[in-house]
Amino acid sequence: MAEAAVGIIMGSQSDWPTLKGAADVLDELQVPWEARIVSAHRTPDRLWSYAPEAAARGVRVIVAGAGGAAHLPGMMASKTRMPVIGVPIETRALGGLDSLYSIVQMPRGFPVATMAIGAAGAVNGGLMAAAILAVSDEALAGRLDAWRAALSASIPEAPQDV
């Protein structure tokens, strides 16, 4: 199997049903990925070692999802200059606004490209990672263009009674 170009990391196993949306769209675009549980609070040593080890394996973009006190994407952005795409996970207590605010309000100098809360954000995280890689990969750019065109073509012109 090809080496992973995208690292999908998450704070907990419970985030995977959401983050799988990123993995699925990367599969559709034939972009190899890896997935790891890396919690900023529960496994801080893993957080510290992930970025350099992933970069050595060939990972070039990171999609990081976390919920609640969602420090994983921001801390990862502090450790690596690889682009970090943050996915705020929907939470039961606060609906994911807590995750969104934790991820989006980075201090100047260490950006996280923050997606929407939940499932749409995860899929868009995968698409954003693919778009970043497509800048220097013409074949992938073509697949991404075709994916976007197919989505546009699937939208009916008029609504129907269902």
Does 11 contact ligand RP5 by CB under 6 A?
yes
Instruction: Give the residue from 22, 42, 40, 41 showing the smallest Cα distance to 32.
Output: 22
Does 12 contact ligand RP5 by CB under 6 A?
yes
Looking at beta carbons only, is 69 or 149 nearer to ligand RP5?
69
Looking at beta carbons only, is 68 or 86 nearer to ligand RP5?
68
Does 43 contact ligand RP5 by CB under 6 A?
no
User: Is 148 marked as a binding-site residue?
Assistant: no
Looking at beta carbons only, is 96 or 126 nearer to ligand RP5?
96
Looking at beta carbons only, is 14 or 49 nearer to ligand RP5?
14
Q: What is the DSSP string of the chain?
A: -PPPSEEEEESSGGGHHHHHHHHHHHHHTT--EEEEE--TTT-HHHHHHHHHHHHHHT--EEEEEE-SS--HHHHHHHH--S-EEEEEPP-TTTTTHHHHHHHH-PPTT---EE--SSHHHHHHHHHHHHHHHHTT-HHHHHHHHHHHHHHHHTS-SS----
Does 66 contact ligand RP5 by CB under 6 A?
yes
By rule CB under 6 A, what string of x and - marks binding of each residue 85-124 to ligand RP5? Answer: ----x-----------------------------------
Does 129 contact ligand RP5 by CB under 6 A?
no
Residues forming the site for ligand RP5 (CB under 6 A): 10-12, 14-15, 39, 66-68, 89
Q: Which residues are annotated as a binding site for substrate?
A: 12, 15, 42
